[in-house]
Structure 1
Amino acid sequence: MKGIPLRSLFKKSLKSTFSIVGLEIESKENKKGVLPPVYETLDEAIYAKNIGLSVAYNCPLEKCVTPTGFSFSEDRFHPFVTALEEINNHPQTPSYLGSFLERYYQAWTPENGRGVYPGFNHAPDGLRAVSAITIHSPWMDATPEHRQILMERTIAYENATANHPELPFSAGYGLHGPVTPEKGQLEFERLLKVNRAIKEKGYDRTISKEDITAIAIERTGEYRFCIMHGQHRMAALAALKYRQVPVNITKLLHYNEIEHWPQVYRGVWSTSQARAYIDHLFDFESEKWAKQQRLIK
């Protein structure tokens, strides 16, 4: 540790704490020149990752999903993308009241940690004991209980970073309802801000604190990239019809090694439940689900 400033250690610890959540934490810092190099081919990115390098891959948006199964693909559904498409089609007076985002938060209100995965009914029963903000995946190091504590702190931190420190974590979570009107307005404004910046200036990955991050998951030679940080940016890029975006791959997982994932060998997720979950991330027809929920026509 000799020679490393205390402030740098604190920032590194803070980054580690908040980088595993699903929503974007913005920063005014511009760390131009310190982001990992972007690889155009996945094989090169995986090789670099396997030898211990920090890498970004120019990832197809059609392969990107959320930890719940929503997709950034043009023929699938993500609530933020649909909300931004509505905004882009009616740019004159965008308002949260009466918007798609408000309707979505009112319509999709999972009750606990087991119910947060749309169209998926095989999550562990033990996740009923944690709140719906606790989106838990079998590759995570944290137990569901610790994940809930982390998410409570993270949501409060995000609200404070967005200039609303008065909003507690209980005001709601950005990826589903219920949310308070104030929290819904906050998420709407964050989407507007990111969308406007990319629309006017293009996507500059050096402006934010770090790259969009993802877990790369391989199943029989195919990949999905589970976006863990940067949902707002990804949604804006998808709504603006970007096809590829640099994504920092923080972890590489293989379907045939599921029994070795932390929450599987600890017994929180069974092997069959974890396999079904990964199949959900690959195969979930989120647009069909959204139509069934009468969220879209």
Structure 2
Amino acid sequence: MSIPEGIAGINSDSTIVSVEVSKCRDWQGYSYTEKGWHYLSATIKEYIKNPTITPNESILNKYYKIYQPTSIQDCLFYHEKKDDRLPPITNNILQLPWGFAFDMGRKNNQHFGPNSTSFIKKEFTDLIHIYNKLAKEGYQPDKHPDGYIKGHFLKKYNDYRFILSGGQHRMAALGVLGNKKIPVKLYHKWQRVIDIENINAWPHVQNGKYDLETSIKVFNSYFTNTGREKAKKLNLLA
């Protein structure tokens, strides 16, 4: 049975779909391909050039020390002119217009710093292990429990982005390894598709937390940002 791809996958009922790696993002808008930038991908590339690099010397460690966001402005529009329409983080929870929330207060967070030395070491070690395993065996999600990279879709007319809920290390490795398309699984706890055409029904648009213009700005950031703009401002581009 063939796996539906892209827009066809969005419009299907299949829980497993094929997506283009170039259209995959994490929740902060980082991309996993050569034209984009992701802190995990950059760390793998460092390791390839220098297999003896230590966690303390890695770009992963630098990233966690430099990047410690406190607002959605930092996460999606780092160092842009401050936009007062973007709502503040309340009780350490960052909320997106369509209702998804992310914990900004938890210590040792995979997505940003500050993090402990032991956490960074484990994150680095796990990442390199996954990269080496995928480089040797390839991506075989059916052969492993919880083997699929998971997430959901943002749909903008005939275009899409696949936003990961799990599998950041695997996706970073697959991007570095040059994979163009991969099968993924829709995350059952998230709404399958967030469609720009349904913007008026988004929870935080309805309750007034986000106005329409700001909601569109946030949504569009996943289609325009690649991560390179933030990496450049953080002085992390090689």
- Give the Cα separation in 2 of the matches to 1:60 and 1:41: 8
- Give the Cα separation in 1 of the matches to 2:21 and 2:27: 15
Q: 2:133 aligns with which of 197, 207, 211?
A: 197
Distance 1:112 1:81, change over 3 A: same
SS of equivalent to 1:276: helix
Distance 1:289 1:194, change over 3 A: same
- Give the Cα separation in 2 of the matches to 1:229 and 1:175: 12
Whether the aligned pair in 2 keeps the contact of 1:38 and 1:57 (CA below 8 Å) is no
Q: Deviations over 1:22-72 (max 9, x none)?
A: xxxxxxxxxxxxxxx7624334423322xxxx4222211101111111112
Whether the aligned pair in 1 keeps the contact of 2:21 and 2:181 (CA below 8 Å) is yes
Q: Please, what TM-score do these two structures have when normalized by structure 2?
A: 0.86
1:148-159 equivalence runs, <5 A: 148=103
Q: CA deviation at 1:263?
A: 2.5
Q: Deviations over 1:110-136 (max 9, x none)?
A: 1245533243655865433343xx443
Q: Is 1:110 the equivalent of 2:69?
A: yes
Q: How many residues end up aligned between the 2 structures?
A: 231
More displaced 10-residue stretch of structure 1: 181-190 or 260-269: 260-269
1:25-104 equivalence runs, <5 A: 39-49=3-13, 54-91=14-51, 93-104=52-63
What is aligned with 2:212? 271
- Give the Cα separation in 2 of the matches to 1:110 and 1:236: 25
Q: CA deviation at 1:104?
A: 0.9
Q: CA deviation at 1:87?
A: 1.1
Whether the aligned pair in 1 keeps the contact of 2:10 and 2:153 (CA below 8 Å) is no
- Give the Cα separation in 2 of the matches to 1:222 and 1:84: 29
What is aligned with 2:200? 259
Q: Please, what TM-score do these two structures have when normalized by structure 1?
A: 0.70
Whether the aligned pair in 2 keeps the contact of 1:110 and 1:116 (CA below 8 Å) is yes
Distance 1:123 1:290, change over 3 A: farther
- Amino acid corresponding to residue 121 of structure 2 in structure 1: Q
- Give the Cα separation in 2 of the matches to 1:282 and 1:220: 12
Percent identity among equivalent residues? 22
Distance 1:238 1:273, change over 3 A: same
Whether the aligned pair in 2 keeps the contact of 1:114 and 1:128 (CA below 8 Å) is no
What is aligned with 1:243? 180
| Unpaired runs of at least 5, structure 1 | 1-36, 153-168
| Unpaired runs of at least 5, structure 2 | none
Q: 1:219 aligns with which of 152, 156, 160?
A: 156
- Give the Cα separation in 2 of the matches to 1:186 and 1:263: 36
Q: CA deviation at 1:202?
A: 1.1
Q: 1:290 aligns with which of 228, 231, 236?
A: 231
- Amino acid corresponding to residue 155 of structure 2 in structure 1: E
Distance 1:209 1:41, change over 3 A: closer
Q: Is 1:128 the equivalent of 2:69?
A: no
1:155-234 equivalence runs, <5 A: 169-170=106-107, 172-206=108-142, 207-234=144-171
